[in-house]
Amino acid sequence: MSGNYGKVYLVGSGPGDPELLTLKARRLIDSAEIIIYDQLPGKAILDSMPTSAEKIDVGKYAGNHTMTQAEINKVLVQKAKEGKTVVRLKGGDPYVFGRGGEEAEVLVAEGIEFEVVPGITSAIAVPAYAGIPVTHRESTSMVTFITGHEDPTKEESGLDWDTLAKFGGTIVILMGVKMLGRNAEELMKHGKAPDTPVAVIERGTRADQRVTVGTLANIAELAKERGVKAPAITVVGDVVRLHEILGEQRAGADF
Ligand code: SAH
């Protein structure tokens, strides 16, 4: 490990409500020399980055394509090797579908010191703000988190739909907007009841959060009608019924 290298903090920013940032994340953002970010943390948090830091948006187009993970890794390594204190800011938790694990591995391989700062994952907090506990004693004590993002041109899905359809617990799907219809169909095809409740929560915890509730049978159509867009979390299971009872909350209008 070189003494001249800077340290990299892989920081989770939580689901978007700026009050759900951890104290540690806030401190590191405020004192960072360089912040490498994408758009997932959301406007309120990105607007709160200090003017003193150099800010690099790796979610932006580079030339005529979005930056690949390899290019992002390169920027991280290059900046750390310049001896800078780098914050790699990521939505939610860095190690939940955030490719944070891959970035950490690259840093280790390059001999760069790093620290992970867990964040509140959208997978749990977004349903919570929509009045949906991911587990509930009376409906389920199991929950699984899956990525719904699969290449639509792929014939075979990488997910084990048979196991998922039989799984009695709550299924939380991240990155699932584009494939919502196909994922709902797969679950029904493998035996999950068409009237299973489903909620899609867009921009969860933020001031403009929106919840769409339906069933496996009609959620794709509802989402289309309402123009549902990413980022959104899909929750499949009986816990979705609690939305009616517990109600919604969101970030205050001040943010
Ligand atoms: N590491 C992140 C997830 C990154 S994958 C975390 O722990 O939350 C990106 C996906 O996260 C999005 O496609 C969406 O499914 C989900 N997501 C993140 N923030 C969200 C938000 N505020 N509202 C709804 N979905 C969100």
Q: How many CA atoms lie within 13 A of 254 on its CB side?
A: 4
Boundary (domain end) residue, out of 76, 98, 117: 117
Q: Give the model's pLDDT for residue 158.
A: 81
Closest CA to 72 of 94, 53, 52: 94
Q: Pocket of ligand 1, candidates 174, 180, 203, 249: which has the most ligand atoms within 8 Å of its Cβ, to mutate?
A: 174
- Domain of 104, CATH number, reads 3.40.1010.10
- Residue 3 CA, ligand 1 centroid: distance in Å: 35
Residue 253 inside a domain? The answer is: no
Lowest mean pLDDT among 41-50, 148-157, 198-207: 148-157
Boundary (domain end) residue, out of 117, 136, 163: 117
Residue located nearest, by CA, to atom 4 of ligand 1: 98
Residue 2 inside a domain? The answer is: no
131 & 75 share domain: no
Residue 18 inside a domain? The answer is: yes
Q: Give the model's pLDDT for residue 208.
A: 94
And the tokens for 195?
């009237």
80 & 33 share domain: yes
- Whole domain around residue 110: which residue ranges? 7-117
Q: What percent of the chain has pLDDT over 90?
A: 87
134 & 74 share domain: no
Query: Which letter does DSSP use for residue 255 in this model?
Result: -
- Give the separation between CA 223 and CA 85, rounded to whole angstroms: 42
- Provide mean pLDDT across the span 214-229: 98
Residue 50 inside a domain? The answer is: yes
3-state secondary structure of 3: coil
* Model pLDDT for residues 7-47, shown as the tens digit of each residue: 999 999 999 999 999 999 999 999 999 999 999 999 999 99
Q: What is the pTM of this model?
A: 0.94
* Model pLDDT for residues 89-117, shown as the tens digit of each residue: 999 999 999 899 999 999 999 999 999 99
- Residue 159 CA, ligand 1 centroid: distance in Å: 19
Residue 1 inside a domain? The answer is: no
HEC assignment per residue over 175-208: CCCCCHHHHHHHHHHCCCCCCCEEEEEECCCCCC
128 & 226 share domain: yes
- Provide mean pLDDT across the span 233-246: 98
